[in-house]
Amino acid sequence: MGTKGKKAKKAGRAAQKIPDAVYEAELFRLQTELVKVQEWTRATGARIAVVFEGRDAAGKGGTIKRISEYLSPRTARIAALPTPTEREKTQWYYQRYVAQLPAAGEIVLFDRSWYNRAGVERVMGYCTPQEYATFMRQTPIFEQMLVEDGILLRKYWFSVSDEEQLRRFRSRLADPLRQWKLSTTDLQSISKWEDYSRAKDEMMVHTDVPASPWFVVESDIKKHARLNMIAHLLSTIPYTDVPHEKVVLPDRPAPSSGYERPPRELSTYVPDHVASLRGDAERDL
């Protein structure tokens, strides 16, 4: 594609995007509703588990960040498990994920989940064909057990195009703050695009069931994906406003004549790094 074509395509993408002001306003509204969900979860003892899956760089992490931004980490926590240890590899496959499931009054956001076996493990050969077949057979049963026990399970698949994924990978390569997000396995997803597509299609056939359906989030435009996903999640949870006592700030008591602050010289203060950024205030006088 020529330079003009790329510019035209970029301009077209920009025209499709929601204005920043509208995005920020709606995100704030949705985050306010998420706080209500948090309070409802605490009050009712509900258990909410949200699974985030999708290709690398599909926008899962950014959405999770916006969901959890104003929630208490004591109520809403993120489960992003590392590569299993040698001991964990000998356990029942779901065991380490079961340990992360919510107790009463908790929300757990799974940044990838037991579906690793249906995706990266399947494509990269990290599991045997027998282990994969067992997973496909057992997962609907496993999730049925969670739902029947009262857990509100929601599963989201973030769908990104190959072109957009590659663009995001290139952006990360040049960004010192996000280079850590790229791994050898991530980059191999470029050459194994069709393998991952087949794996995803087969996963959907076996695990997109009425008791625990998949919801697909179009994520080529990250801001749209975040708003769409959060709005949908809220629509599936039967939360209500929870009354709470009005908080009133007390009057500050009068200073006590018996207290004297210790000399500042006795404390070790953080150096004033900001002063070096501001420069010499008297230099330009």
Nearest to 155 by CA among 48, 252, 40: 48
Judged by average pLDDT, the poorest of 128-137, 163-172, 185-194 is: 185-194
Q: What letter does residue 71 receive in the DSSP assignment? A: S
Q: What is the mean pLDDT of residues 130-148?
A: 98
Q: What mean pLDDT value characterizes the chain?
A: 92
CA distances, 125 to each of 19, 117, 122, 193, 199 (Å): 43, 10, 5, 15, 12
User: Residue 13: pLDDT above 70?
Assistant: no
Place of tokens 């609907």: 140
CA distances, 76 to each of 30, 35, 105, 117 (Å): 16, 10, 9, 25
Amino acid symbol at 193: W
For the stretch 253-278, pLDDT in tens is 888 778 888 999 999 999 999 988 98
Q: Where are the domains of the chain?
A: 15-235
For a pLDDT cut of 70, what percent of the chain falls above it?
A: 93
pLDDT grade for 282, boundaries at 50, 70 and 90: low
Backbone angles phi, psi at 230, to 5 degrees: -65, -40
pLDDT at site 266: 96
CA 140/CA 124 separation, integer angstroms: 23
Q: According to CATH, what is the number of the domain 15-235? A: 3.40.50.300
pLDDT grade for 178, boundaries at 50, 70 and 90: confident
pLDDT grade for 221, boundaries at 50, 70 and 90: very high
Nearest to 56 by CA among 101, 120, 6: 120
Question: Percentages helix, strand, coil for the chain, rounded to the nearest 5?
Answer: 50, 10, 40
Backbone angles phi, psi at 198, to 5 degrees: -65, -40
pLDDT at site 281: 62
Q: Are 124 and 199 in contact (CB under 8 A)?
A: no
For the stretch 67-123, pLDDT in tens is 999 999 999 999 999 999 999 999 999 999 999 999 999 999 999 999 999 999 999
95: left (phi over 0), alpha (psi -120 to 50) or beta: alpha
CA 115/CA 203 separation, integer angstroms: 9
